[in-house]
Structures are given as C-alpha cells and as structure tokens.
C-alpha cells in the first residue's frame, strides 16, 4: 500500500472513529436526559369536592351537607348554608354548568383552602372549602373543617394568594 493509500485509510478510520464517538456520546446524553415531568397526583380532597359539587349541582343539598362532619355540630351554620344552597338550587338548578377549582391556598400539607367556582345560568358562586388532614396517612380522609358560599366571586378571590389556576372539572 502506497503512502497516499495509507493516508486515506488513516483519514477514513479517523472519521469513522469520530462518528462512533459522536453517536455514543449522543445516545449517552439521550439516555441521561431527564424524563418529561409527569402529572402530579391529585390532592386527596379532589374526590370529596367532586362528590359534594355533583350533589349540590343535582339539587341533593341534604345529602351533600350530611357528609360534612363539622356541620353536624353546628346546626345554625348548617341551616344557613342549606338555605343559601336551596335558594340557588331552586332559582338556577336547571342552569348548572359544572365547576372549576379556582384557587388553592396550601398553608401546609395538612391544611389547605380550596375555592371552587360553580357556574350557574345567572352568575357564578364561589364555594370555599377548608380542608384539614390530621394524619398524613393515605387511609385517613381529608376533613372539611369549614365550608362557605360567596355570591360575590371577585371580592372572594381578590386577595387570595394562588398557587393553582383554572383546573376545569365536572363540566356539563
């Protein structure tokens, strides 16, 4: 083999080696690249909100209030909230369009305030749930520590520090 041929073989061998190193380096980077973020697990109180809002939206006010433990010890608060919900239900029940989680205030992993926007034909209403999770075990349910209803949505949400925006659920 002549000197020119040796030079060409050396060049081609170098180019092939360079491509092999680049291919190996690229595949190593792809393997080391972080996986795309996955959706976070839904908070434990979401099923409770869904069940209550569906009961309220379907006009089953007493069923919804019966599942809220703190209401059993506060008959006056229960009667007032029941009256508000019945008024809304009787006036706008045929025009219930679902709800959104409008805001979540996470004070700790055990105490969170959730504002739910319920959409009715004439106007939206803000439901404010205060959730408490006394034990951080999966088998322990979240408790509704308080529930209030607010017809003035913008006033209710004006000063809320929000870390969660517009999660649409339960649309009809």
Hey, what domains does the chain have and what are their CATH numbers? 46-169 (3.10.450)
Q: How many CA atoms lie within 13 A of 139 on its CB side?
A: 0
Residue 90 has pLDDT above 80, yes or no: no
115: region left, alpha or beta (phi > 0 left; psi from -120 to 50 alpha): beta
How crowded is residue 151: how many other Cβ atoms within 10 Å of its Cβ? 12
The whole-number pLDDT of residue 99 equals 93
Rounded to whole angstroms, how far apart are CA atoms 69 and 32?
50
Q: pLDDT digits over 47-79, tens only?
A: 889 999 999 888 888 898 888 888 888 889 889
Comparing 126-130, 136-140, 161-165, which segment has the lowest mean pLDDT? 161-165
Span 146-161, average pLDDT: 81
The whole-number pLDDT of residue 168 equals 54
Q: How much is the mean pLDDT over the chain?
A: 73
Which pTM value belongs to this model?
0.65
Rounded to whole angstroms, how far apart are CA atoms 34 and 41?
19
Please enumerate in sequence order all residues whose Cβ is within 8 A of that of 72, keeping only pairs 6 or more positions apart, or say none.
78
Nearest to 57 by CA among 84, 92, 24, 32: 92
């Amino acid at each position: 083999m002549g000197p020119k041929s040796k030079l060409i073989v050396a060049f081609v061998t170098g180019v092939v080696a360079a491509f092999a190193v680049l291919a190996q380096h690229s595949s190593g980077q792809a393997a080391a690249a972080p996986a795309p973020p996955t959706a976070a697990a839904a908070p434990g109180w979401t099923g409770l909100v869904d069940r209550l809002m569906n009961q309220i939206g379907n006009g089953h006010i007493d069923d919804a209030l019966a599942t809220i433990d703190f209401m059993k010890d506060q008959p006056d608060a229960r009667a007032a909230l029941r009256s508000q919900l019945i008024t809304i239900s009787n006036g706008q029940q045929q025009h219930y369009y679902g709800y959104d989680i409008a805001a979540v205030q996470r004070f700790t992993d055990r105490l969170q305030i959730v504002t739910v926007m319920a959409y009715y034909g004439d106007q939206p209403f803000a439901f404010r749930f205060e959730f408490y999770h006394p034990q951080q075990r999966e088998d322990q349910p979240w408790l509704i520590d308080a529930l209030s209803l607010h017809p003035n949505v913008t006033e209710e949400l004006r000063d809320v520090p929000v870390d969660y925006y517009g999660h649409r659920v339960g649309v009809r």
